Amino acid sequence: MKTSGSGKALAVEPPDAAEIAGLIRSGHTRLGDARKASLSLESRFDLAYNAAHALCLAALRRKGFRPRHRYIVFQGLPHTLGLGPEVWRVLAKAHDARNLAEYEGHVDVPERLVLDVIAAAEVVAVQLDGKRME
């Protein structure tokens, strides 16, 4: 992965244990809420996406980096948690859907994507919880 400097995707920044713990806690809470079928599909998507982002950001922060762009946390999964394209591509697709909703007001999220994002976030959570602070 590229590191810090002008035009680079990441900034080098020492890990902060309190920040990482907060991201993990937030990720788990949001992931739990995303599983609630009683919520609207849009809410579940938002919760699942933000859970995945928080967990992936925690993994990147553990490695001593801070992303300059949101999507970098998903692209970094092979390097931070050893996860392959079957996980990060789902999350990248979710990022694109999130941007459409956030910036263009286009909120048309299929249930399949919501379920896939929840599943991908669960994989990230299991891998993250299995790794110790380096």
| CATH number of 123's domain | 1.20.120.330
C-alpha torsion angle, residues 116, 117, 121, 127 (rounded to 10): 40
Residue 8 lies in a domain: no
Is residue 75 exposed (0-12), middle (13-18) or buried (19+ Cβ within 10 Å)? Answer: buried
- pTM of this prediction? 0.91
Which domain, by its residues, includes 108? 14-130
Rounded mean pLDDT of the chain? 92
Residue 7 lies in a domain: no
- Number of domains into which the chain is organized: 1
Residue 6 lies in a domain: no
pLDDT tens string 22-60 = 999 999 999 999 999 999 999 999 999 999 999 999 999
